[in-house]
A = this chain, B = another copy of it.
Amino acid sequence: MTDSELVAARPRAAVAGKRERLVASATDLVHRHGVQATTLALVAKAADVPLGNVYYYFKTRDDLIRAVVDGHAQRIDELLAILGRGTTPRDRLAGLARNWADAADLLAESGCPIGGLSADLARLDGGLHECAGLLPRAVLDWATRQFRELGVPDAPAEAASLLARVLGAALLTNAFHDPALMSQEMRRIERTIDDLAAGAAGAR
């Protein structure tokens, strides 16, 4: 560790505390109420930071939203890295579905963080609009690699179908306030994956 990193580390500890609290609060509010309804006053209050102080950490509101997106991107990468340790592509893809199934109650209550945020961003104009594809893209590319490794004929399309089912099921789960819908659809997705794995093995 160099001197410059050392000195920078200490003041940043306090700074990071508030900054992280702001991003965490914003992430929660964006998830529950959407990007548009997430006001700086609400975020500041939830993070227990004075409103005026928010602008020390984020130049504009868009910067804060962008930080929320980046946080999700990072968590997605971590999740996919963990799932990547599964021994077979089949297990890894099933793990992805199970991850959403485990969150069924949360999804029924507040919708899917990824799907909801992407939809919100796609309807804005400005720099944030371009970020709409960021989060789904990471999952889509990962799933495509798994299907390819599985030996499925059209891996990209199969991955798109999988992600569409997951995000669509989450949307319906939220609209109907019914976690059972999510559990059911994720079980069916696991079956689809098994069928594809069996089909690819049979063609081999």
Contact A123 B33 (CB under 8 A): yes
List of B residues within 8 angstroms of A137 by Cβ = 176
Integer count of this chain's copies in the complex: 2
Q: How far is the CA of A115 from the CA of B167 in the complex (A)?
A: 11
Say how far A135's CB is from chain B's closest CB, in angstroms: 8
Contact A167 B171 (CB under 8 A): yes
> Looking at chain A, what size class is its interface with the partner chain?
35 or more
Contact B169 A164 (CB under 8 A): yes
Contact with B along A114-125 (1 / 0, CB 8 A): 011011111100
Q: How far is the CA of A196 from the CA of B43 in the complex (A)?
A: 49
Contact with B along A123-160 (1 / 0, CB 8 A): 10000000011001100100000000000000001001
Contact B181 A160 (CB under 8 A): yes
Contact A119 B123 (CB under 8 A): no
A89 at interface, CB cutoff 8 A: no
The chain A residues found within 8 Å of chain B, CB to CB, are: 32-34, 36-37, 110-111, 115-116, 118-123, 132-133, 136-137, 140, 157, 160-161, 163-169, 171-172, 174-177, 181, 184-185, 188
